């Protein structure tokens, strides 16, 4: 049986593959769809209209238009840390 921590870890792993599908990486369009579906609140609160492009460029470390598993999780961890900082500041 999975623990309370293992279950969300597995969910996040499979969510990546839901958008990456068999090719195993996210294209520009995959990342846009993932962000729009999963982080719509984050995008709505962005004042910078180029935020989505900046995120994609930042994650596309090799400049080949592909965002892999590691890069995608670096974004998710940064979002978790931002949420935690907000949570701690407003506790």
Interaction site with a second copy (CB under 8 A): 3-13, 15-16, 24, 34, 37-41, 69-70, 73, 76-77, 79-81, 83-84, 87-88
Name the token pair of 57.
Answer: 């460029």
Residue 11, classed as helix, strand or coil, is: helix
Report d(CA 82, CA 86) in Å as an integer: 6
Q: Which long-range contacts (CB under 8 A, 24 or more apart) does 57-64 make?
A: 59/31
Q: Closest CB to a second copy among 36 and 53? A: 36
Ramachandran sector of residue 27 (left: φ over 0; alpha: ψ -120 to 50; beta: rest): beta
- Nearest approach in angstroms of CB 28 to a second copy is 19
- Nearest approach in angstroms of CB 13 to a second copy is 5
- Nearest approach in angstroms of CB 15 to a second copy is 5
Q: Closest CB to a second copy among 70 and 90? A: 70
């Amino acid at each position: 049986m999975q623990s309370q921590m293992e279950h969300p870890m597995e969910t996040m792993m499979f969510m990546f593959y839901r958008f990456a599908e068999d090719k195993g990486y996210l294209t520009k369009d995959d990342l846009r769809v993932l962000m729009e579906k999963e982080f719509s609140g984050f995008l709505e609160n962005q004042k910078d209209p180029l935020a989505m492009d900046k995120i994609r460029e930042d994650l596309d470390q090799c400049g080949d238009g592909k965002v892999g598993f590691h890069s995608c999780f670096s974004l998710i961890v940064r979002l978790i840390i931002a949420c935690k900082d907000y949570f701690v500041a407003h506790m």
